[in-house]
Structure 1
Amino acid sequence: MAQDRLTRGLFVRLAGLMTLALFPLGAIALWQTNEVVSATVRLSEEIVLSQTERAAASERRLLERGRGAAEGLAALLGPVAGDAAQCSEMMARFVSRQDTFVFAGFIGRDGMMECTSNGVTFDFADDPSFARAIEQEGQIFEVNLSGVATGDSVVIISNPVKIDGRFAGFVSLSMPHETAKPPAAGLTEDSRFDHVTINRAGRILFSSRELSSAGGILPTDTDPTAFLERDGETFLARSIDGRERLFAIASIVPGEVVVVGSWSTGRTLNSLGATPVWVPLLFPVLMWFAGLAVAFLGLHRLVIRHIYALRRSMRQFALGQRDEPGLQLDDPPAEFEVLETSFNRMVYALTHAERQAEQDLSEKTILLREIHHRVKNNLQLIASIMNMHARAAKTPETRALLSQLQQRVRGLATVHQTLNADTDDSTVDAQSLIRRLVRELIPMADALKRDIQTTTDIAHVQLGQDQAVTLSMLAAEALTNAVKYIDAPQGQPLTLDISLTQDNAQTLTFTIINSIGQGSDRTPDMMESTGIGTRLMRAFVAQLDGEESRDETETHFTYSVTFSLTEVAPEAPKLWAQPHATG
């Protein structure tokens, strides 16, 4: 973390900016040194490209002559293509009148050459070059170190023949390699110029060397067929024979034939730029170090120390230290004076807003407590009125009904009393709520004032206010029902156990266990009661989205409800309520 902070620091970034600012000086120094090297390389490239063009000139003329002758024969072949004798006679007359060509013939689509200048029939059906020509159906250039017709090393030019618009075969002309003029000389033996002419398939047609060894002067790791798209390019590469060479490419027949010239550089180009790189960079580097020293001192004096002071004041404000004086910078620049004034104004505005928020919260708390207090008092008043009516009732049924209503109203009053205890929270403590209900409702529900041994085991669980109200109403009904039917065998105490357990993070179980007497005639009512209390309890269970269960033994009756704890959205943090830090 510290290393990351250091690399992202202002000084490091300033060093980067200084590097960028002084980079042009270093670049100019390097450029001046490199310009000589570049000029020498460009001159070498121009020489090699010129030599390549010169080497290609004679071969271009030779191939263009062959292309023209092949196209002319293809155009004249139509009337005699079907007559092998007349066709062969025409081919023989053509060869006899030319010094360039040693053979001419017509190959049909089936690969048979029955029309030849020497009268010999040949079968090229299985020849790979014929298969490539049939696939391409265009003008192609091939080489054969041992010609089928002549036995000599020849270059073969084939031109497609179309009769009545349909492809019929190829006119094939052969010219010996001796007709190609050698390239111009003039370079030393250590860096002599070589060239090779290759066709579309990457086969060598002509070379300044013997054809058998000409492939050694081509660059390694390069597909020869790719040279067709690199007309006019020059590049340095290592040739197959292991020598460093400068290559140039010139097109002879676009898309079909190119000539690749190469110059064995030896030490000529590799020795360029022998001057150490640090020599032209020495002056910019010294300026860079001097600039960094001045920048560091100025940056710390004018910027960094004021930023640290601002950070310290911001940290103190964030920790709640409001008694410290405002930000006071020591001899800051005008820009930091504006920042100082803005920060102090912001602190004043936030402090005033916090005080106003604290006052608003206090007023809201007082108002909310007053509301809960008045609701509780009104509910207790209603309960007291019901108690008065119950005492004045003429029938036991009326007194029982009013007593039940009074207990439910007191249950609601207990909830509001609990909410009144702490209105800063949006939740209710289940333990405090249920214990208060037990204290208030059991004496009221037990009209006989019996000695009931009550135990509670309530978990500390925070309930939402809606769920707390529903649970309190369910607990009030269940407690009333339990006290109503509580009994015990002769000589045994009356017991009542109330518990609220948290089974897991999201599940609660509320349980009431009361003792019963053996053979109590009220036991069926406890299990199968269909009165209003039972219906209310089931309604409250449905509101809690829970499940209830009832179980009875010889000595105890158990009522249990399992339900999910409703999540309560957390309140937004009250920044104004943070305690003031010291130190």
Structure 2
Amino acid sequence: MFLILTLALLPLGLIALIASLQAIRTADLEKEALLRVAVTQSARKLTADLQSDRTALQLTINSLGAADTLICDRLDLFLKSNDPEGGLYYIYDRAGRRICGSDRAEPEGLDRRERFSGPHAQILGGTPYLVSRVKSRDNQLVGLIYYSRVHLESVADPATALQNRQLSLRQGDRQLIISRPRVSPGDGRTTSLSARLEPPDILLTMTVRDPPATVARTLSLFLPLVMWFAAAAIGWFVVNRLLIRPLVLLRRAVASYHPGEVLEPMQRVRTPAQEIVALGETFREISEDVATHEAEMAESLETQRKLTREVHHRVKNNLQIIASLINLHARSAHDPEAVEAYASIQRRVDALSVVHRNHFAELEENRGVGVRPLISELSASLRGTAPTQARRFGIQIDSDDLHISQDVAVPVAFLVTELVELAMRLDPQGRMHISVQLQPGSADRGLLHIHSPALRASEDLAGHMEDRYGRVLTGLSRQLRAPLEQDGDAGSFAIAINVLP
């Protein structure tokens, strides 16, 4: 989001930066034009001053040639009116004799042999003076005017207000600095322009030094970029505070939601957008409805569980009543075959009752019927209802901690009952080993294995199997949807059953 806002505001930042650079360039051009006007004006003023003094000096030395010595006083007054330092001038003849001049001593720097030779205006090397030279018509007199740095600066001072300027005169390799800038030479960028004086071999150079780069100037230059970045940052902060952060908190609250809870995703958010507030309220209302439905479903499920328990309890009680009635009828019977028939029926009713009792015990945890307690209780019930001669029939149980559904438990109980009763008929004093083990490599298949010496192949076993037990065992194996494997030599039966994972 920050990148998107940054890219969206980038054209505005670039436009502002280009406008700022263009304004700086325009200011530079205006400053350069102002500097050109200033240096031209200064050159003209300095040229006019030099020409005026040269004219006065020319008239003076020509008049001296006519034996008029009072004109030197008038020249002195004229030069002093222009030069605050007194207007230094000196007039010499060919013999080197001073005709007249200022009261002050002549500055050093000009050799006496060079008084009649040299240009009209000359910069003296090593001294802060500019010398203007004028000869008489007969070339017998020469007049020298010395201009100090202060006088040159006052004359050449431009009318425009240029700060940090420097004025200098250059003649060949000689240079005379008239004024210096207020800042040190190494600070800032400089701009220089020159104009020629009369005589044309002297250049007046004006140098303007820009103020040094400061933090304020740098910030003013990059202010558009700073504003662009600040706008992007503020935009991202606002979007993050109003949209992104509330949406992230809302997503976390929804991701960690568990059925039955009531969502309150907007409690920790102070300034979300109204649309997100409405969305949070919608989630809260939906979670309230879900919690209400969950509570109703839990209540309905508890009611259903109680009803189921009541049904199993009533079925178990009814089976016990039926078993009691069968037992009463068996006691009143006198025929041994009838007694045995009643006992056989009672054992099967007890087997079904054991299944319901175990299913009722495991109903709270909804894990199905435990195989080990089912077979253990069933074995105890079979030994309790066995004939008198088979009361000492031994049953050994070896079972893993497995659980089966009621649909599997009923045929398993009947299958064990049929085989135990068959073994008791064939060998009342015998024994039996019942094992239920989980098949290797499988998590939902177990193997029920019943072994007894009485179940070895014999004529009696074959007769009982043909008479009744064979058909019953076949029907039970079909209910378990697995073949019942018989090993006559070992006296065992085995069948695969489905177990709960």
Report if aligned partners of 2:433, 2:450 keep a CA contact under 8 Å in 1. Answer: yes
Distance 2:448 2:493 in 1: 6
The worse-fitting range, judged by mean Cα deviation, of 496-505 and 458-467 is 458-467
Equivalent residue in structure 1 for 2:395, among 439, 448, 454: 454
| Structure with the higher helix share, 1 or 2 | 2
**Deviation for aligned residue 1:463:** 2.5
**Deviation for aligned residue 1:499:** 0.7
| Alignment CA distance shift 1:295-1:24 (3 Å) | closer
Distance 1:446 1:375 in 2: 27
3-state SS of paired residue (2:421): helix
**Deviation for aligned residue 1:370:** 0.6
TM-score (norm 2): 0.51
Question: How many pairs were matched up?
Answer: 292
Larger radius of gyration: 2
Report if aligned partners of 1:509, 1:560 keep a CA contact under 8 Å in 2. Answer: no
Report if aligned partners of 1:456, 1:497 keep a CA contact under 8 Å in 2. Answer: yes
Runs (5+) with no aligned partner, structure 1: 1-10, 30-281, 489-493, 571-583
Identity among equivalent pairs (%): 26
Report if aligned partners of 1:391, 1:399 keep a CA contact under 8 Å in 2. Answer: yes
Aligned to 1:485: 426
Give the letter for the 2:7 counterpart.
Answer: T
Give the letter for the 2:482 counterpart.
Answer: G
**Deviation for aligned residue 1:25:** 9.4
Report if aligned partners of 1:427, 1:463 keep a CA contact under 8 Å in 2. Answer: yes
**Deviation for aligned residue 1:372:** 0.9
**Deviation for aligned residue 1:356:** 1.0
Aligned to 1:262: none
**Deviation for aligned residue 1:326:** 7.0
- 2:404 aligned with 1:466, yes or no? no
3-state SS of paired residue (1:547): coil
3-state SS of paired residue (1:451): coil
Aligned to 2:449: 511
Over residues 200-242 of structure 1, what are the superposed CA-to-partner deviations in whole Å (9 max), with x where a residue is unaligned? xxxxxxxxxxxxxxxxxxxxxxxxxxxxxxxxxxxxxxxxxxx
| Alignment CA distance shift 1:535-1:286 (3 Å) | same
**Deviation for aligned residue 1:538:** 1.7
Report if aligned partners of 2:347, 2:385 keep a CA contact under 8 Å in 1. Answer: yes
Report if aligned partners of 1:373, 1:420 keep a CA contact under 8 Å in 2. Answer: yes
**Deviation for aligned residue 1:399:** 1.3
3-state SS of paired residue (1:509): strand
Distance 1:293 1:25 in 2: 13
Report if aligned partners of 2:367, 2:403 keep a CA contact under 8 Å in 1. Answer: no
- 2:233 aligned with 1:300, yes or no? no
Report if aligned partners of 1:549, 1:561 keep a CA contact under 8 Å in 2. Answer: yes
Distance 1:473 1:515 in 2: 20
Aligned to 1:204: none
Aligned to 1:539: 475
Equivalent residue in structure 2 for 1:361, among 298, 301, 304: 301
Distance 2:224 2:495 in 1: 81
**Deviation for aligned residue 1:286:** 7.4
| Alignment CA distance shift 1:486-1:389 (3 Å) | same
Distance 1:290 1:550 in 2: 89
Provide the alpha-carbon RMSD of the alignment: 3.7
- 2:399 aligned with 1:437, yes or no? no
Distance 1:442 1:23 in 2: 97
Distance 1:355 1:471 in 2: 38
1:317-396 residue pairs with structure 2 within 5 A?
A: 317-318=257-258, 327-328=266-267, 329-396=269-336
Give the letter for the 1:514 counterpart.
Answer: S
Report if aligned partners of 1:502, 1:509 keep a CA contact under 8 Å in 2. Answer: yes
Aligned to 1:270: none
TM-score (norm 1): 0.44
- 2:443 aligned with 1:525, yes or no? no
| Alignment CA distance shift 1:497-1:293 (3 Å) | same
1:158-307 residue pairs with structure 2 within 5 A?
A: 289-307=229-247
3-state SS of paired residue (2:363): coil
| Alignment CA distance shift 1:285-1:468 (3 Å) | farther
| Alignment CA distance shift 1:403-1:487 (3 Å) | closer
Over residues 530-553 of structure 1, what are the superposed CA-to-partner deviations in whole Å (9 max), with x where a residue is unaligned? 222332112111222323333456
3-state SS of paired residue (1:366): helix
Aligned to 1:559: 492
Distance 2:224 2:417 in 1: 89
Runs (5+) with no aligned partner, structure 2: 18-221
Give the letter for the 2:375 counterpart.
Answer: I
Give the letter for the 2:451 counterpart.
Answer: I
